[in-house]
Every structure is written in structure tokens, then in C-alpha cells.
Structure 1
Amino acid sequence: MTTIQPRESFALTHASVIIGDAAGTTLPDTTIVVSSDGRIEQISPSTQTTIPESYRVLDATGKTVMPGLINAHVHLFSDGRPLNPKLATPRGQRITAAIMHSPIGKPYLTARVTANARTLLASGVTTIRTLGDVGYEAVALRDRIADGRMIGPRILASGPLLAIPDGHGAPLIALTGETPDDMARNTRVNLEHGVNAIKIAATGGVTDAQRLGEAGSPQMSVDHMRAICDVAHEAGVIVAAHAQSPEGVRRALLAGVDTIEHGSALDPTTVELFRHNPHALRGWSALIPTLSAGLPMTLLDRETTGITDIQLANARTVVAGMLAGVDDAHDEELRVGVGTDTAMTFVTQYNTWRELDLLVKRAGFTAAEAIHAATQGNAEILNINDVTGSVEVGKTADLLVLEGDPLLDLRVLKTPTLIIADGRPLWHPTVKRFDDMDALLDRAYRE
């Protein structure tokens, strides 16, 4: 991760500023003044702004400034190259977990997690929520960034997700249990290790499915998940649930989860639970559809993705449900956020912008609505909207400087000119891209 530099006061002048609301409100010829504590202290027309002499001036004439992206569903253990199906079996996961927790594996894991967080930041993502870690490596990274020892994205770290024995994510990235008491205990274990996010495997998943129909099959009861939510909510921590079927989504919402990851087609009961959820931390729940994680497996041939026949069959069912769910949620004006499920097959750490593009192409969002979902909307969903997510006085300066207008072309988000994270500029951001994979995705999403 880039060595951190002391903050300095600066001003971005003569920019076109997208504030992050769903209407796409844009302020022309505007100056943003950032203080040495990393907060936005002034937003005003450039012709009416007085900049203190000690402040560094950055001329943004002809450029667009917007809030940094927030990716609400990431994993940091891999880079998005196709995962080996043999490693997704329970036996494969046990072997991999043993290696990752070994004296040799731990430094390797730390290095990989750090590199992937750096890639996310360099691609314009200034806040991430991890949802399934091998251990507590993301917690440690979060603390190094927060302590000012390095520059990186703001991190909400989940630690291992919570699952049943041999359930989704287990044992590689999960703590497992059989009873509601086990689930409550494992939640406390994670909280004691300092996590500020919790994830539940409410249903089976595509990646580690070993039989047809396993993806989306419920793996926890309402009581199991309620035990998790009660403990997490008492600590003020929101809970995410991997849920890929109508029944899995229904159970998770009844238990009080705050975000549904992936999702499925909605019915009037689940729509109402999203709007008014008495057991959720804030009385409502949101959907994070992760289209980036499902569509490649169904649009690209199996020889390219490397997935099994069973994974493909499960993916087709799950993706159909995800597309229906986000379409329903958009029509019903539910809260929808942006997460990509980075590290999964064909989900790189640097392509968050593609999820916004997919919301427009596949779910009827406007570009402004997609940008809002990835900024101000995600900040509200993750309960950090008092800190970040929009260009407002008093918020932390998490900003992107772009050469064009993403409201007209979301591909502009692919290559930010300048990234400002917590008031610290990241100059000349670059990422290592997988050109072969990007070309395949470009073609698949264009067709």
C-alpha cells in the first residue's frame, strides 16, 4: 500500500461537481475547499470563492469531480481470475484454509489483501465492505489505514462469515455452528476481533455448490439468523445475508438482516419487509444485487470461466432471480446499493464501474441513479452517510477527479485522473488490468 503522506489543505477549482444524489445534480464551475483535517470546508461557485494563500490550488477546469465510489461487497483474498472448482469443495477449502493460516500462508495472505485493497482504491473506490474474510486480515488492514500508517480505502471488515458446517463459504472464509446459540457465540467472536460488519450465509451459493439446486437452498432458519442479528445490532453493527432464493431472502429479512446480497425475485411480502423491517437495525433493509458476480458465468462459455456443469446450471437459476430482484427493487423504489463480489470468477478488484453500467443496461437505472447507488445511497445503507458518500460541507473528502462526465458515459469512471481518500490525494492512479478478461466482458455486456 502506498506510504501515507501528511494531509495538506487544498482547493479543487473550476470543476463540474456531481454531488451524489439520485437526480444527478451537478454544480458548474465550482470550487471545493478541503481543510488539513481531510474534510470539505467549502463548496461554492469558483468566481465567489476566496482560497487562503497557504492552500494548494488544483485547477480542475474541464474536469468532473464526484464522490468516491463505495463497493459494499468485496473479498480481498483473490484478484478475480477464475477460481479453481476443486478448491471450492469442502475438502479443497479445508486444505486452502490450513495453508492460509500457516506461518507461510499468513504473510502471503496479508500481502495479497493489501495489494487488492490498493487496486480498489486506485480504481476509484474510497470505501469498501468486506463480506467474508479468511481471518481478521481486513480488520488489521483497516486499522493500519485508519491509524495513518498507509493510504487506502475506508474499510468495513466482516472477518469470517457465519455459516452452517460445510455451508456456503465454509470452512475457508467462515465460522460454523449448528444452533442459534452457536451463531450468537460466533458473532461475538467476530465482534471481539474488532469487525464492523457481519455476514450470514443464509443460502447455498454458486461458487461452492456441489449439487444442482444447492445455490439458493436455505441453510439457516429465522431463529439462527435472528440470534446473529440481535448480537450484532446490540453492538450497532449492520448484518448482510448471502441469499439467492425467494425463501432465503424472506427468512433473512424476517430475521432482521440489513442488507440482502445477490437477491431473488420479490413478492409483496418481501417488498414490504425491505421497506419496513422491525428487526433490522434502522427499521428497513436494502438490496445489493452484485450483477458483476453472476452474469459472467452465464454469458461466457464454460471453457473460459472454468466453472463446472453444476455451477453453470445453478448460476443460470440464481442470475435470473438476481435480475428479477433488482428490477423489482428499482420499480418499487427500494434502497439498492452497489457491490461487485470482488475476487469471484471474472470479478476483478478494479471493475466496480461495471456494476453501475450493468444497473443501467440490465435493471433500468439512469446513470445518475447508478452513481447515487454507489455513493450516497451506499453510504446510507452502510450507515456511514454522516462521514462520506456525497460532496457536502463537513463530509470527508473522498473524491474522484474525472476527465469526462460519467452521467453521459459511465466508462469515464474506469480511469480517474486523481483520487482523494480521506483528504489525501492519490496521484496518477494506475491498476494492473487483465486485458483478456476485460475484452471478454466488454463483448459479453455489449451483446
Structure 2
Amino acid sequence: MSAAPSTIIEPFAIAHATLVTGDAESTTLDDMTVIIGANGRIEQVSPSLSTPIPSDYHMLDATGKTVMPGLINAHAHLFSGGKPINPKLATPTGQRRVAAFAHSPLGRPYIAAKARSSVMAQLCSGVTTLRTLGDVGYEAVALRDRIDAGELVGPRLLASGPLLAIPEGHGAPLIALVCPDEDAARANTLENISHGANAIKIAATGGVTDAQELGEAGSPQMTVEQMRAICDAAHESGVIVAAHAQSTEGVRRALLAGVDTIEHGAVLNDDLIELFLNNPNALRGWSALIPTLSAALPLLDVDQSVSGITDIQLENSRIVVAGMLEGARQAREAGLRVGVGTDAAMTFVTQYGTWRELDLLVKRGGFTAAEALHAATAVNAEILGVEDVTGSISTGRAADLLVVNGNPLEDLRVLEHPNLVVAAGHPIWRPDAKIKRIADLDEILDQTYAS
């Protein structure tokens, strides 16, 4: 899963930096040096005064700057930049029309280009590991393969391909393969894996964006048996499974089936908490929660005249969003593994706004800044199964680093404008200048979540 070098890496050192380790204890180390080797891995982490830098290594003076592990975004789509989605395109008819274009000779290059620009925006904003959960086709797989082959500098990618849904279910047909029964569910899982997918996504319940009826969001759509067929097929290949689930019953069914991550979530009870902690059907015997507050809260907090959502979408949001928020708080209090995912590409969720998810976890989810940073680094690495490769600043780990001006433990907003991003040892110079921001959208979010 690790990203291979795309060019020869010139070894270098980041010296005299304040190190925010990203652990749960908010450990901060002053005047530290991190040495990165030609293999893209961290060779040494130690106090600057006792760390000689080899003469053939470049030295970057990071005095006054903070170095931390690169961010991990565990839930993203690549087909859009985050502008409000036209409700007409979210209907079954609209999705079929968009899907027809996306899979046409003209559409495929467009989708591929959009995916690449989305991935690069994630990278330049400090995301060095990214999981996609619902692609139009296998464009994310192709990007991952180019990164791994050394043709392109990019984040470490876990790519799902299309998600798996029932006919006319959430995400279908634009970003989904339909599964009318258990046999089709297993076959489509194997189809994705045969195309190189190293993540799988299920639509266990209805969703807000494409809901056409009141109560559709959160309504269970796929049976436990269908989801078990998916989980069993994926787990046979060592691939973890995510489930879109926006109701307590939907979460219950998905966990019973053996999913590894619940996306969005709902109000939990003692039985569900125990199943998160000890899930015999999950790949590793436990499951995790990815709340995605960035995609949920603006649907209620931003005026409908601005968001453009329909009355049905608004009412469905009211049904599920409060439960998602409460579920995130319950999961934190219960000591569950809670990761960070933005649901990038959805309405008001930009590809460069991962820092906003951390900010919302603090402002609305009851997390401390240290807990949010820990969730976006070490916890996410464990959830995605890449903890031996990334998620911490440790000798032998990939040099996935983020350099910022200021201390994110004191102000998470310093993550908005990174000074330097390092992905598997590759420095991305002036990353902030490479991000094409959506100014009016950012202004709306800034005003909405100013305090």
C-alpha cells in the first residue's frame, strides 16, 4: 500500500522544528530534527543539538515551524470539488444521465482528470494517505497504480472503485454497482478487487443527497446476508469494508455483517458499542467509526437558499444528522476507534478542507485538538491497516509529514495553509499556492463555524 518514489529522492533533514507527534497525549518536542533518507523513509528523529546531519543531505531550517505526521483522510470521493450538487442530478434519472456521460468516450477522460486534480488538492492540503469510498469507475485505482509505479507524486491511496448498493439504492447508478441478491453482492465485490480495488464500500442505508422521499436517509437498504457476502469476499483478500450507515438499525446490520468501518453513523447503544469493540465478523475483530461531520452539519447549519438542497433533503438531514453527531460523541466517550473522513466532493466539502473536519470534531463532537489530530494520524493509520507504514513520525516509517506555521494543538486552523508537505519522502514545495480554492464556499463555512 505504500507509495513508491516517483523520482529519485534527494535525502534531506528538517532541523530545529517543534514536533507535534500526533499521539493522544498531545506530546510536543522542541528543537527536533527529522532526517529523511533516499528511500523516502524516516532515518532518525532526535534533538537538533545532538543530531549531526550528513554532509550530502540538504538541511531545511524549520525554526519557528511545527512538523507533524501527514493527515489521513479515510473517506473521500474524487468526482467533484465540493460545490453544491444540483438536486436534479441527484435523482435516479439525473444520475443515469450523468453516469451515461461519465462512462462515455468524452466522460472518462473528464472523470480521470477530475480525480487527479482532487487527489492533488488533498495532497497539497496535507493529506498523505487517502481512502476513496465510491468512485465512478476505477480512476482512483489507476491513479494509485501510477503513484506506486513512480510515475506521479501523490498520497498513499486506498481505492474502492464503485460502491455496492441495491438497485436504485444510495449511490446508484452513478458511483455504484447494483447488488439485487447475495450472489451479485459477492460477484461485484470480486469484480472491484479484480480491477485492483484495495477498499470496498457498501451502501447499507439510504443517504441524504439522493433521497427522494422523507425517511429514505438512514432507511436500511441492504440485508445482513448481502453485506456478509461482501465482507466475506473482501476479507478473503485482506481488504477492509466500509458501510454508509445513517441509522441505528443500519449500523447494527452492517456491524453484524462484519464491516470494518461505519461511515457517518447514528445513535449507539450498549450492544452496538460492544460490537464495535469486539466484532467477530470484521477482518481484525473490531470495527471503527468515521463520522464525516463536514458533510453532515452544513446541510443544517447553512441556509437552504445557499446550500441549494431540496425540502426532502433538508428534512432527511434533520432526521439523521443529530444521530450522527450523538454517535460520534458516544463513540469517543466509549473509547471506540474514531477516525477522520471528510466525504470530500459532497456539498460544501472541498478536497482541501480536511482540517475543517478536525475543527468540527472539536467544536461539535467533544474532541480535544490532540484527540482530533490523533484520530487523523495514528488512529486512521490503524483503521486503514497502514500503521506499520505511516501515521507517526518514527524511524523506519514513511516520511509522510506536514510542516505548518504555528501549533495545531493551539489552533487547528494553522493546518489550512501548509508550509511544506512531504509524501513518502517527496517534498511538495509551496503546497498552499497549488490549491485552487473555492472562495465563496470557504467564506460561507468560515462564517458558519467562526466560533
Deviations 1:325-379 (A, max 9, x none): 0010011011000000000000010110000001111111110100000001100
1:218 to 220, 227, 232: 220
- Point out the more displaced range, 20-29 or 72-81: 20-29
Is 1:400 the counterpart of 2:402? The answer is yes
Distance of 2:450 and 2:292 partners within structure 1:
18
* Corresponding residue of 1:131: 133
| 1:316 positional shift | 1.2
CA deviations on 1:397-429 (whole Å, 9 max, x unpaired) are 000111100000000000010000010000001
1:164 to 159, 163, 166: 166
Q: Report the alpha carbon displacement of residue 28 of structure 1 after superposing the two structures with TM.
A: 1.1
> How many angstroms apart in 1 are the aligned matches of 2:286 and 2:179?
27
Structure 2 residue corresponding to 1:37, chosen from 9, 14, 39: 39
Q: Determine the C-alpha separation between the residues in 1 that align with 2:21 and 2:393.
A: 5
Aligned to 2:181: 179
Post-superposition shift, 1:4? Answer: 5.0
Superposed displacement of residue 6, structure 1: 2.2
The answer to whether structure 1 residue 234 and structure 2 residue 233 are counterparts is: no
Q: Aligned pair 1:55/2:69, yes or no?
A: no
Match of 1:208 in 2: 210
CA–CA distance in structure 1, aligned partners of residues 111 and 224 of structure 2? 34
CA distance in 2, matches of 1:20, 1:406: 10
State how far apart, in whole Å, the 2-side matches of 1:391 and 1:206 are. Answer: 38
> Could you say which residue in structure 2 is the equivalent of 1:304?
306
8 Å CA contact retained: 2:83, 2:347: yes
Distance in 2 separating the partners of 1:370 and 1:177? 36
CA distance in 2, matches of 1:242, 1:189: 20
Is the CA contact 2:6–2:149 (under 8 Å) kept in the aligned structure 1? no
In structure 2, C-alpha distance between the alignment counterparts of 1:100 and 1:235, rounded to whole Å: 29
Q: Look up the match of 1:441.
A: 445
CA contact (8 A) 1:19 1:392 kept: no
Determine if contact 1:263/1:321 at 8 Å carries over to the other structure: yes
Does 1:422 pair with 2:424?
Answer: yes
**1:67 equivalenced with 2:69 (yes/no):** yes
Match of 1:366 in 2: 368
Counterparts of 1:180 and 1:174 in 2: how far apart (Å)?
16
Indicate the percent of aligned positions where both proteins have the same amino acid: 66
How far 1:11 sits from its partner (Å)?
A: 0.5
Deviation at 1:101, TM superposition (A): 0.6
Cα deviation, 1:274-309, whole Å, max 9, x if unaligned, reads 000000000000000000001111011111111100
SS in structure 2 of the partner of residue 272 of structure 1: helix
SS of match in other structure, 2:364: helix
How far apart, in 2, do the equivalents of 1:92 and 1:131 lie? 21
Shift, 1:446, TM fit: 2.8
Residue in 1 aligned with 2:333?
331
Question: 2:90 maps to which residue?
Answer: 88
- The residue type paired with residue 63 of structure 2 is T
Aligned-partner Cα distance in 2 for 1:89–1:155: 30
Paired with 2:152 and 2:101, the residues of 1 have a C-alpha distance of 27
Structure 1 residue ranges without an equivalent (≥5): none
TM-score, length of structure 1 as denominator length: 0.99
Amino acid in the other structure paired with 1:193: H
Structure 1's consecutive aligned runs of 4 or more residues displaced over 4 angstroms after TM superposition are: none
CA offsets, 1:43-74, max 9 Å, x none? 11111111111111111111100000000000
Which residue identity lines up with residue 405 of structure 2 in the other structure?
E
Find the residue that maps to 2:225 and give its secondary structure. Answer: helix
Distance in 1 (CA, whole Å) between partners of 2:396 and 2:50 is 19
Q: Shift in Å at residue 228 of structure 1?
A: 0.3
Q: Partner amino acid for 1:38? A: G
Q: Matches of residues 90-129 of structure 1 in structure 2 within 5 Å?
A: 90-129=92-131
In the alignment, the residues of structure 2 paired with residue 177 and residue 228 of structure 1 have an alpha-carbon distance, to the nearest angstrom, of 10
Q: Which amino acid aligns with 1:368?
A: A
Q: May I ask how many residue pairs the two structures share in their alignment?
A: 445
- Partners of 2:33 and 2:303 in 1: how far apart? 48
1:293 to 291, 295, 299: 295
Residue 250 of structure 1 aligns with which residue? 252
Q: C-alpha separation between the residues in 2 aligned to 1:153 and 1:87?
A: 30
CA contact (8 A) 2:329 2:365 kept: yes
Q: Tell me by how many angstroms 1:317 deviates.
A: 1.3
SS of the equivalent of 1:446 reads coil
Rounded to whole Å, the distance in 2 between the matches of 1:350 and 1:187 is 30
Is contact 2:76-2:344 (8 Å) kept? yes
* Structure 1 range deviating more: 425-434 or 66-75: 425-434
Q: Would the aligned equivalents of 1:34 and 1:41 in 2 still touch at CA under 8 Å?
A: yes
Conserved 8 A contact 2:202-2:244: yes
CA distance in 1 between partners of 2:428 and 2:318 (Å): 40
What is the letter of the counterpart of residue 194 of structure 2? E
The separation in 2 between residues aligned to 1:134 and 1:407, in whole angstroms, is 37
CA contact (8 A) 1:157 1:197 kept: yes
SS of 2:391's equivalent?
A: coil
CA contact (8 A) 1:367 1:407 kept: yes
Root mean square deviation, CA, Å = 0.9
- SS of the equivalent of 1:379 reads helix
What SS does the corresponding residue of 2:19 show, helix, strand or coil?
strand
How far apart are 1:5 and its partner, in Å?
A: 4.0
Equivalents in 1 of 2:404, 2:346: separation in Å?
Answer: 28
